[in-house]
Amino acid sequence: MPFGWDELGSVHPDMFNIETVPPLVEKVGDAWADMTPQSLEPLLEMSRRDMDAGLMDAPWPPVYPKMPNEPHRVAPSRARQAKH
């Protein structure tokens, strides 16, 4: 959202919606106009290397369905121990 650091304490996400943002962008300018798109390929390659090395994905929040390569959603100390 295009607001300054000095405004951070006085803004709330509910203030910004489809009706309020266009006039704000028109008034203060497009904060993203000078941004250059970047490729995600370096991050995807890093993820592939991690998966190939046996690292798992980060746990997803519990409201999401279980994802492939996601570790258990319980602390190791609370996980059921295998019986020997």
Tens-place pLDDT, residues 61-71: 878 888 888 88
Residue 83 has what pLDDT? 55
Residue 43 has what pLDDT? 95
- What secondary structure, in 3-state letters, does the chain show? CCCCHHHHHHCCHHHCCCCCHHHHHHHHCCCCCCCCCCCCHHHHHHHHHHHHCCCCCCCCCCCCCCCCCCCCCCCHHHCCCCCC
* Distance, CA of 73 to CA of 76 (rounded, Å): 9
Q: Say what the pTM is.
A: 0.44
